[in-house]
Amino acid sequence: MAHDGIDSTRRRLLLAGSALALMPMSTFAVTRGGRTPTVRVRGGRLQGARDILADGREVLSFRHVPYGADTARHRFQPPQPEPAWRGVRDATHFGPVAAQSGALGPGSEDCLSLNIWTPSTDKAKRPVLVYIHGGGYTTGGGNDPLYDGTRLCLRGDVVVVTVQHRLNLFGYLYLGEFDERFTASGNIGQLDLIAALHWIREHIAAFGGDPGNVTLFGQSGGGAKIATLMAMPEAAGLFHRAMTMSGQQVTAAGPRAAAQRARLFLDALGIAPDRLDPLLSMPAARLLDAARTRDPSRVEEMALYFGPVLDGRDLPRHPFHPDAPPQSAAIPMIIGNTRDETRAFLGKDPAHHALTWATLPDALRRHQYVDLPTDVVIAEYRRLYPDDTPSEIFFAATTAGRSWRGAVLEAEARARQAAPTWVYQLDFPSPLDGGRDRALHTLDIPLVFDNIRQPGSRTGNSDDAQRVADAMSDALLAFARHGNPNYAGLPHWPRYDLAQRATMIFDRATRVENDPRGGERRLYEQAPFVQRGTF
């Protein structure tokens, strides 16, 4: 979900993944061996690793491949090319994530790097799948075990790439209103991604990939970043398919709203807007601490929001308002969500699992983004789902009013544009914690990567879970190869239109439903959708 950070449990899992990053992937029974691969790129020569699976198959990996220079030297400025190096650069270990607070922090401002998995460095011109991580625009990184490209790479004979880029204030603090040196600062994180895509176009052929067939896929904040790239002129032509998973960006922050947040940030540091030079030398930790300032939004109590900015330059329009971006109309797109998104974070509070009809209204007032009368919402949910408990209605309503609403609006905008679009919903439930989390936010990550046995996966490793992983990963691979997710063995997946609203339901029995949760969709159409950070 684009406006929600990673919950504390997820952060602990990510931290565990970082600790495992330098270890062989025992989950895959991988050993390092054979002649190590070497590839030449613009900065110099890279030496990767050759990983051998238990069944004898091999995958080549290149980690911490730089696509830009250390950003500490040019804070709040567009990315610069990485410096050349002498000799052969070791590319067998992950590099640091972006500077951030939380379990993955402190990270580093020297973070612009890629991780690449490929079956071979031949000239086979394989489809390239580039994954953009979640964590909103604030946290996360491309080194998580759930994002390991080994199985997807070998399953589909494709090249898999994950990306690190600037986040939070380092990637999205809008200072352009105060100093013309920083006119691009509100979208620096997006410009990093564009620089990474330029690097991929220039060099991915050396890793066995096809620069003319690049698919972006990303979950939560990663999906939101992709939706934003679809409206950025500098990104045009750099990717050819897009898949967003529980992540959408209907509107961006307006310049007034972004400048207001920048002023609050500067106030916390004691810096005047007309004297920004101290920002360039302050320790990153101090800047991150100031970013914890309370956001002016009345939606929820969170730290300052940082995200893409409608700056009239790098982002000249809202990503999906008032319509879908014309520049991306020809790009095939999959838009997906999980059935029970908010159980991933709101479900951590035991009180939310013990709501009564008396306590439900107040819980909805605090956590439902769409501003509708709670008695109207509750009455409609009780009509639609008469057997649901107050807690079940709470999780359903908060999911429908938050992430899912934006996904529906994007799909509708694409349908009006007659752009090739497919929609999915993950209903397969997590078996962990007694099954109470159901199809929670992030559950589709290990399924799409076919990584259900990796650390951090909440899918379980049952035959049912593997069948869903087979269906989702094969749909992604078909989409990357052909621009259409249909393949033999999957129920026919129609394109999304406003008449039928066909949606692939990934579950124990994968199937297509027309307009699932249509009653909820119509309920929330009564109020305008306002994405966090817009105002």
* Residues labelled catalytic: 220, 341, 441
Q: Name the nearest CA neighbour of 182 among 113, 265, 105, 99.
A: 265
**For the chain, counts of helices (H) and of strands (E):** 14, 15
Please report the sign of the dihedral spanned by the C-alpha atoms of residue 147, residue 214, residue 402, residue 508: negative
DSSP letter string over 429-449? PP-GGGGTT-S-TTTHHHHHT
* CA–CA gap between residue 126 and residue 516 (Å, rounded): 35
**Cα(365)–Cα(342) distance, rounded to whole angstroms?**
15
Query: Amino acid letter at 203?
Result: H
Give per-residue burial for 90-117: e unless 16+ CB within 10 Å, then b.
Answer: ebbebbbbbbbbbbbbebbbbbbbbbbb
Cβ proximity of 451 and 140 under 8 Å:
no
CA distance 68 to 165: 10
Tokens, residue 82: 């990485």
Phi-psi region at 49: left, alpha or beta (left = phi > 0; alpha = psi -120 to 50): beta
Cα–Cα nearest to 532, from 211, 313, 303: 303
- Do 532 and 304 contact (CB within 8 A), yes or no? no
Q: Closest by alpha carbon to 21, among 100, 92, 120, 86?
A: 92
Helices (H), 316-373: 360-367
CA distances from 404 to 95, 289, 381, 505, 527 (A): 34, 31, 16, 14, 14
Q: Which residues contact 211 (CB under 8 A, 6 or more apart)?
A: 128, 200, 201, 202, 204, 205
Question: What tokens were used for 156?
Answer: 């589909």
Farthest-apart Cα atoms in the chain, separation: 69
**426 burial type by CB count under 10 A (0-12 exposed, 13-18 middle, 19+ buried):** buried
Start-to-end C-alpha separation, the chain: 18
Q: Are 252 and 319 in contact (CB under 8 A)?
A: yes
